[in-house]
Structure 1
Amino acid sequence: MSEVLLSAKGLTKRFGGLAAVNDVSLDLWRSRIHAVIGPNGAGKSTLTNLLSGDLPPTSGSVHLGGQDVTGWSAEKISAQGLGRSYQKTNIFLPFTVWENVRLASQSRQPHAFRWLQRAADFAAVNARAESAIELSGLKYRIHSIAGTISHGEQRQLEIAMTLATQPQVLLLDEPLAGMGAQEAERMISLLHRLKKDHAMLLVEHDMDAVFSLADQLTVMVNGLVIASGTPAQIRLDPGVQAAYLGEDIGEESA
């Protein structure tokens, strides 16, 4: 059943006299993908950082699962049920796929540092890791060193690590960046699989992928929301067309 899992109201972030994000509101619903698009410098990544707790807002509020998490640390918000990926892949390159995901899963143990007990003995930790690896499509790479797998597989691994923390809300910052066509297809398929059980925010420059994935879009320019609606509504919006220099945004790929 659809429900609002994350709600942001009037979010603003100022750096001196610059408003990188200016009075932005949005709701993320379970089983829906909400894409945020806009030109470079529009404030998309700053907005993601405000929602995840990586940056504190100048004003406005964020509620996660009905709890006011405004000003909470990223670690505390993550424990409340939010997971995110970053523009730059954030994994442990010398470790195997299994070790990366198991470490992420272990972070959710109430007593994560029992020094006299082997990490492999945590049955629940291992079960979460196995489930996340299978869901992300990396079971065939489970024993591979993370630094040796492809860029697209590393992005899948980062999402698997996020899934191992059992989030309800996923914030994905350019998950298709730098991918070839086949890798992008695998990532799009993965995001479709994740949609059922999560509320998702997607920041992405690949407009073909955005319009194939998103249920709702928010368009930002210079920190402001200039349009919000369904893909069909956004495609026909004259203000959005102007922001993209008159191009058909449904065909843009960069």
Structure 2
Amino acid sequence: MADIVLSARHLTKRFGGLIAVSDVSIDVHRDEIHAVIGPNGAGKSTLVNLLSGEITPGDGSVHLAGEDMTARSPDQRARAGLGRSYQKTTIFPDVSVFANARLAAQARSPKALRFFGDASRDPVINAHATAALSEAGIAAHADTPARHLSHGGQRQLEIAMVLATAPSILLLDEPLAGMGPAEAQDMIALVSRLRNGRGILLVEHDMDAVFALADRLTVMADGHVIATGTPAQVRADPAVRVAYLGEDCL
């Protein structure tokens, strides 16, 4: 197995008397899609927020490529190579598709905090933006206002914005949400391609997509990990069948 790009150990998060995530450990390797699944309320979103730095764990640690990120902010984690997409599309709708990607690339650039100079003319930033749009499959729409893209196109743009930051690990939170069958198939193909040279942690409710994409799965229920393994191992796990109230859900 390739090297570990993201590692979490014994993550725990409490909200008052509720333990949303309890003693969760997970590894994501380069060139791997590692899916996290579980019923509603299992703790998946809280886990992603802990990994991305949106919330701070009560216990446990998060490492990126061996570097301790537990106390680092989301922007610091992004600069270290962690890219995240959200359940709801987060784009700038009133500017072009290319401008969205360029802004994301600029945020990752060592020159991001400069006060003088036209970032739109920076050849390095523009090259990163162009490459990201191409990899996400929407380079043909570079001059289109982002609001005019279809829902699936906007999700592709959001991923392109993440790619423009040159991540080594992608956290994809329900990338197929709200898509029809054709758009979902396009997204599945895109996510499959994105594993090359990166690690991907995927949270998704579409089980057909999960089992088509995932190299490994972690199953959560009530804040705990109840199973981790290959798709075949997870399908056969009795605890997983109980959590999903029957094998028909898998």
Q: Say whether the 8 Å CA contact 1:37–1:203 is kept in structure 2.
A: yes
What is the DSSP-based 3-state SS (H/G/I as helix, E as strand, rest coil) of the residue aligned with 1:248?
helix
Structure 1 partner of 2:87: 87
CA contact 1:82–1:169 (8 Å) conserved in 2: yes
1:242 lines up with 2:242 in the alignment: yes
The CA distance in 1 between the partners of 2:40 and 2:51, in whole Å, is: 19
Q: Distance in 2 between matches of 1:63 and 1:214?
A: 22
Equivalences for residues 102-251 of structure 1 within 5 A: 102-250=102-250
User: Any idea what SS the aligned residue of 2:179 has?
Assistant: coil
Shift of 1:113: 4.2
Determine the structure 2 residue equivalent to 1:12: 12
Scaled by the length of structure 1, the TM-score of the pair is 0.96
- Does structure 2 retain, via aligned residues, the 8 Å contact 1:12–1:60? yes
For the Cα contact (< 8 Å) 1:57–1:71, is it kept in 2?
no
How far 1:65 sits from its partner (Å)? Answer: 1.1
Gaps of 5+ in 1: none
Q: Are the counterparts in 2 of residues 105 and 161 from structure 1 also a CA contact under 8 Å?
A: yes
1:44 aligns with 2:47: no
Instruction: State how far apart, in whole Å, the 2-side matches of 1:158 and 1:231 are.
Output: 28
The residue identity in structure 1 corresponding to 2:61 is S
SS of match in other structure, 2:177: coil
Give a deviation string over 1:122-165, Cα, whole Å, max 9, x none. Answer: 11000000000000000111111111111111111000000000
Shift of 1:248: 2.3
CA RMSD between the two structures: 1.0
* Code of the aligned partner of 1:65: A
Deviations 1:166-203 (A, max 9, x none): 00000000000000011011111111111111101000
Give distance in 2, aligned partners of 1:122 and 1:76.
23
Which digits, 9 at most, give the CA deviation of each residue in 1:77-103, with x for residues without a partner?
Answer: 111100000011111111110000000
Tell me the residue number matched to 1:68.
68
Opposite residue 158 of structure 1, the aligned amino acid is E
**Counterparts of 1:243 and 1:44 in 2: how far apart (Å)?**
14
The amino acid across from 2:156 in the alignment is: Q
8 Å CA contact 1:235, 1:249 repeated in 2: no
Identity of paired residues, percent? Answer: 59
1:24 match: secondary structure: strand
Give the equivalent residue in structure 1 for 2:31: 31
Distance (whole Å) between structure 1 residues aligned to residue 179 and residue 192 of structure 2: 17
Counterpart-to-counterpart distance in 2, 1:95 and 1:244 = 43
2:108 matches 1:78: no
Residue equivalent to 2:56: 56
Structure 2: unaligned runs, 5 residues or longer = none
Number of residue pairs matched?
250
Q: Distance in 2 between matches of 1:113 and 1:45?
A: 31
Post-superposition CA distance 1:219-250 (Å, at most 9, x none): 00110011111000111111111111113233
Q: Equivalent residue of 1:107, what SS? A: helix
Measured after TM superposition, the shift of residue 114 of structure 1 is: 3.7
Report runs of 4+ in structure 1 exceeding 6 Å deviation. none
SS at match of 1:35: strand
- The verdict on how the C-alpha distance between 1:34 and 1:144 changes in structure 2, with shifts beyond 3 A counting, is same
